Chain A
Amino acid sequence: MSKSKLTRRALLGSAAAAGGLAAFAGPWKHNRVWAAGTDKPIKIGITSDASGQYANSGASDRRGMLMAISEANAKGGVLGRKIETTHIDTETTPATGSRVAERLISREDCGFLVGAVSSGVANAISQVAQRNGVIYLNTNSSSPTESGKNCHRVKFVWDGNGTNFAKAAVRNSIDAYGGKVLLLTNDYVWGHDTAKATRTLIDQYGGEVLDEILIPQGTRDFSAALLKIQQTNPDVVAAAVGGDDQIALRQQVAQLGMGSKPAWINNQQDWPDVYGLPLDNLFGVFGTTWYYGLDLPGVKEFVERYQTMYPDTSMRVPGNVFYNGYMATRELLAAIERAGSTNNIAIIKQLEGHVMAAADRMQHDDAVIDPITHQVQQTIYLATANDEPRNEQDMFKILTQSSPQDVRDEASLGSCKLESYDDTPSFDA
């Protein structure tokens, strides 16, 4: 009887076959695994707009992310690994957003995606991100659906949304100016969702919507809409018009001297959209999550760091878009550090429900990443044009501040259905 002998070659062959079989038959949800070598940089894909309606805000968003990454790298990186970035222009176009996300994940091996201003683009990116299990930070888009029906386990929303801003503004305006409201709505997802939220609040506070004028994206001449507003004669115009459209609208309203009558609620005002405009363009009240003139500890140093890092930027002080880009990225890196791993599920768990101290965020209230909707619940400020500016950057006057509880978007709690952890592909970045 011959005795079988286990040779080294046979052993290696068996091990290779077993390994191959295991890889083939392994759990399909773990479909992408990157080697988590400690010397390998952590790659973040930046998905911000560099062209189209939100090109200017996209640049500001990007600067915020890069400052957070630069500061982390200066301290030795995260988990001892350097952070690298790749940016591809999402062109303020949802279809491009999808393509960019696919490319950053599959060809550039990015383990995280950060950035958005347009809600349509953010939604497109997040669908690709969820399919691949890649954590995606929606830094600056503020459609309520982003943390409502379009929420995802991998997506975290950092800006206040249309409902938060409307809650801060609508009641005050109806009380002060009257209840006949005309809605001026950008004809895309953010505009519609914001208008819907505003409508609900107007009904709730006893107001009446006289009409809604839809503004197609890319509109440059608002004279027809402005004539229609005059013919309708509302007490308040609730505008949800963003980006370059809003800039053109502001200039044309200012030219007609219609900034004070009727009263205007401009749901949210992104800093890059108004920076450098004459003060009479900044009519009405509007919401924001942060202002460089807030009298809070750390704000002055934050502005100085911005000015040191970006000495040649025409925008001499950071605004809300920069702030959101910075805070989102900084918190992502902190979550990786807390998780002690780059496993996406471990990091998601670190982000969910995470409380951020008011002092760290340079806001008036502690903020929390809602574990149900993944939206950051934070202080919302109501502002208007500053009629007594200290310098040419001092454009806003903060009127009121609302705590996260007062402006909470209750509707999204019911409409957001996050995918389970098991249904989210898991990997180490």
Chain B
Amino acid sequence: MMELVPHIINGLTLGLLFALIALGFTLIVGVMEVINLAHGSLFALGAYFALATLGGGWFGSTEFGVWWLSLPIGMRYVFALVVGPLLAAGAGMIIELCLRPTYGKAPLYGLLLTFGAALVVEELIRLIWGTGEQSLTVPQAINGAFLMGGLIFSKYKFFAAGFALLAIGGVWFFLERTPYGAIIKAGSHDSEMVRALGYDLSKLRLLVFGFGASLAGLAGIILTPIWGLRPHVGLDVVIPAFLIIVIGGVGSFWGAVLAAVLVGLSVGITGAYAPAWSMMSMYLLLIAIVGVRSRGLLGRKSALEN
């Protein structure tokens, strides 16, 4: 039994990282009813923007570039954590502007457009940063390992899980405790009423998409020091994110968090005892939950169920 404990801890940390990945995805699906297949590319883009910020790639070998690189890595890392998501948000907003003609049409149009956007972003990354593997350096204080119960754990992974917890709390606070969050939630519930109350729905959608994209970018910065950074790294993200929001219930914030933790636990524990099934366990969990409860763990009841 004691042997299982480290795997449960590992599964929980992994689950929090999955939750971080799914946050932006669930926000966009919940509010805009758009399945954003470019989520993975925005994840990668955030990480590449952070890479350019951290390594001073923006500034080249100018005097400012040299000064920038002389700053402590911790300071540059914090700056990258802000700049990366902001720029990813900008890219997300451009995608939202392109999406506008698809509103009110069959969902397939939005799906195809975001799929196309994903390909474009990935290709742009290849053109700008090349096809090879990159490494996002993190400050020494959060790098390395520590011993717990005679086993070595990664400091960075615990930092990332803690950061994911903070991000989840922050997004919850924003949605539940601020007037902007109230408008976003109202927009997801009844967008026409929000418009009738005088709010600019176009601006709301733009901001929600930007916010979702910034969360994708943030997840990219946090996860790529573990997963590695390459132009197609976003592909590794879209499927777990999609699974998580379906298991959790489309549009449900806490449903997504709960589902992510369950997915993390199932992958973590099967990874130790039946490793060949570790990836498959996500899909089995999906089948088990959706088979019993078609709207997911905390999804809203559909009109047909009333």
In contact, A276 and B154 (Cβ under 8 angstroms): no
State whether A224 and B275 are in contact (beta carbons under 8 Å apart), knowing that A255-B156, A275-B132, A276-B133 are contacts in the complex. yes
In contact, A273 and B133 (Cβ under 8 angstroms): yes
A73 within 8 A of B: no
A1 within 8 A of B: no
Tell me the smallest distance from the CB of A233 to a CB of chain B, in Å.
10
**Alpha-carbon distance A248/B144, docked complex (angstroms):** 15
In contact, A248 and B226 (Cβ under 8 angstroms): yes
State whether A252 and B7 are in contact (beta carbons under 8 Å apart), knowing that A214-B275, A278-B135, A315-B132 are contacts in the complex. no
B56 within 8 A of A: no
**Alpha-carbon distance A213/B270, docked complex (angstroms):** 11
A218 within 8 A of B: yes
State whether A224 and B267 are in contact (beta carbons under 8 Å apart), knowing that A216-B280, A252-B226, A278-B135 are contacts in the complex. yes
State whether A247 and B275 are in contact (beta carbons under 8 Å apart), knowing that A275-B132, A314-B131 are contacts in the complex. no
In contact, A255 and B132 (Cβ under 8 angstroms): no
The answer, among A56, A227, A231, A257, for a CB contact under 8 Å with B230, is A56
**Alpha-carbon distance A52/B236, docked complex (angstroms):** 10
Q: Which residues of chain A have C-beta atoms less than 8 A from B17's C-beta? A: 221
In contact, B132 and A276 (Cβ under 8 angstroms): yes
**Interface residues as binary, A236-252 with B (CB distance below 8 Å gives 1, 0 otherwise):** 00000000100110011
Tell me the smallest distance from the CB of A232 to a CB of chain B, in Å.
11
Which B106-144 residues sit within 8 Å CB-CB of chain A? 130-135, 143-144
Which A269-320 residues sit within 8 Å CB-CB of chain B? 272-278, 281, 313-315
Main secondary structure of the interface of B (DSSP, over half): helix
In contact, A314 and B132 (Cβ under 8 angstroms): yes
**Alpha-carbon distance A224/B17, docked complex (angstroms):** 15
The answer, among B13, B132, B226, B272, for a CB contact under 8 Å with A251, is B226
B71 within 8 A of A: no
B276 within 8 A of A: yes
Q: Which residues of chain B have C-beta atoms less than 8 A from A216's C-beta? A: 275-276, 278-280
B152 within 8 A of A: yes
Q: Which residues of chain B have C-beta atoms less than 8 A from A214's C-beta? A: 275-276
State whether A244 and B228 are in contact (beta carbons under 8 Å apart), knowing that A223-B154, A230-B152, A272-B132 are contacts in the complex. yes
Count how many pairs of residues, one from A and one from B, have CB atoms less than 8 Å apart in the complex: 119
A228 within 8 A of B: yes
B3 within 8 A of A: yes
B90 within 8 A of A: no
**Alpha-carbon distance A275/B280, docked complex (angstroms):** 31
Q: Which residues of chain B have C-beta atoms less than 8 A from A225's C-beta? A: 271-272, 275
Tell me the smallest distance from the CB of B175 to a CB of chain A, in Å.
28
**Alpha-carbon distance A331/B228, docked complex (angstroms):** 36
In contact, B144 and A257 (Cβ under 8 angstroms): yes
The answer, among A218, A252, A314, for a CB contact under 8 Å with B279, is A218
In contact, A227 and B144 (Cβ under 8 angstroms): no
Q: Which residues of chain B have C-beta atoms less than 8 A from A256's C-beta? A: 145, 152-154
In contact, B130 and A314 (Cβ under 8 angstroms): yes
State whether A231 and B131 are in contact (beta carbons under 8 Å apart), knowing that A214-B275, A252-B226 are contacts in the complex. no
In contact, A59 and B131 (Cβ under 8 angstroms): yes
In contact, A220 and B236 (Cβ under 8 angstroms): yes
**Alpha-carbon distance A251/B225, docked complex (angstroms):** 8
Q: Which residues of chain A have C-beta atoms less than 8 A from B174's C-beta? A: none
Question: Which residue from chain B places its CB closest to the CB of A228 in the assembled complex?
Answer: B272
State whether A258 and B132 are in contact (beta carbons under 8 Å apart), knowing that A215-B275, A224-B272 are contacts in the complex. no
B180 within 8 A of A: no
B181 within 8 A of A: no
**Alpha-carbon distance A55/B225, docked complex (angstroms):** 20
Q: Which residues of chain B have C-beta atoms less than 8 A from A221's C-beta? A: 14, 17, 226-227, 267, 271
Q: Which residues of chain B have C-beta atoms less than 8 A from A273's C-beta? A: 133
**Alpha-carbon distance A273/B11, docked complex (angstroms):** 27
In contact, A223 and B143 (Cβ under 8 angstroms): no
The answer, among A223, A231, A276, for a CB contact under 8 Å with B135, is A276
In contact, B7 and A227 (Cβ under 8 angstroms): yes
In contact, B10 and A224 (Cβ under 8 angstroms): yes
State whether A223 and B152 are in contact (beta carbons under 8 Å apart), knowing that A213-B275, A216-B279, A255-B144 are contacts in the complex. no
**Alpha-carbon distance A341/B117, docked complex (angstroms):** 48
**Alpha-carbon distance A273/B135, docked complex (angstroms):** 12
The answer, among A51, A224, A247, A257, for a CB contact under 8 Å with B228, is A247
B295 within 8 A of A: no
**Alpha-carbon distance A227/B236, docked complex (angstroms):** 22
A187 within 8 A of B: yes
Q: Which residues of chain A have C-beta atoms less than 8 A from B131's C-beta? A: 55-56, 59, 314
Tell me the smallest distance from the CB of B222 to a CB of chain A, in Å.
13
Which B1-59 residues sit within 8 Å CB-CB of chain A? 3, 6-7, 10-11, 13-14, 17
In contact, B156 and A187 (Cβ under 8 angstroms): no
Question: Which residue from chain B places its CB closest to the CB of A213 in the assembled complex?
Answer: B275
A219 within 8 A of B: yes
**Alpha-carbon distance A272/B227, docked complex (angstroms):** 16
B151 within 8 A of A: yes
Which B259-291 residues sit within 8 Å CB-CB of chain A? 267-272, 275-276, 278-280
Tell me the smallest distance from the CB of B254 to a CB of chain A, in Å.
23
13 contacts between A and B (CB under 8 A): A56-B131, A221-B14, A224-B269, A224-B272, A224-B275, A227-B6, A230-B151, A247-B133, A252-B154, A252-B226, A256-B145, A277-B135, A314-B131
| A-to-B contact residues, CB < 8 Å | 51-52, 55-56, 59, 187, 213-216, 218-221, 223-228, 230-231, 244, 247-248, 251-252, 255-258, 272-278, 281, 313-315
The 5 closest A-B pairs by CB, nearest first: A224-B271, A314-B130, A214-B276, A216-B279, A247-B228
